[in-house]
Amino acid sequence: MTPTLIEAPRESPFTGLGFITVTPKRLDLAFRFTLLDGGMSASECLYWLNEIHRYYRRKVIVVWDGLSAHQAAAAIMDEEHPGWFEFFPFPTYSPELNPVEPCWHHAKNIEMANYTAKNKDELARKIFQATENINNNKQLLHSFFKYARLKL
């Protein structure tokens, strides 16, 4: 008999936001993750940039893709809070340069292989568990930077 996969309907669309933080002196890496209701907007980016600034309390270098929400948030931050961040975009269509991409790949295809959530809360728990597993393997995070050919 052919196996059947039953998928629960989506409650509402949501987006994953993931980023890697690197401490400047010890080069400690951490994969950070959250789920957002709906799509990524400039206001969502601004919220997280403010949270990052509040946490680190110093200038932060942000390297991210060219999503229009990222560009809008960077422009607002540069105007309203100059000196809080320095923004660098990845080249267009270059996921191989972004160390977050292998984090997503590992989370989806290794940690959560063949997993189907019944609802958003169950999915969030599983994603956060996958994130913790990635963070507990520092060699893995360093390998994602090597894959992207980025030096720490």
pLDDT grade for 6, boundaries at 50, 70 and 90: low
Average pLDDT over every residue of 21-41: 82
5: DSSP letter: -
Tell me, yes or no, if the pTM score tops 0.85.
no
Average pLDDT over every residue of 33-53: 88
Q: How far apart are CA 22 and CA 99, in angstroms?
A: 12
Neighbours of 141 (CB within 10 A): 22
- pLDDT tens readout for residues 75-134: 999 999 999 999 988 888 888 888 888 998 999 999 999 888 888 888 889 989 999 999
Neighbours of 29 (CB within 10 A): 19
Q: How far apart are CA 99 and CA 83, in angstroms?
A: 25
Contact 85, 74 (CB under 8 A): yes
Domains of the chain in start order, with CATH, are: 14-147 (3.30.420.10)
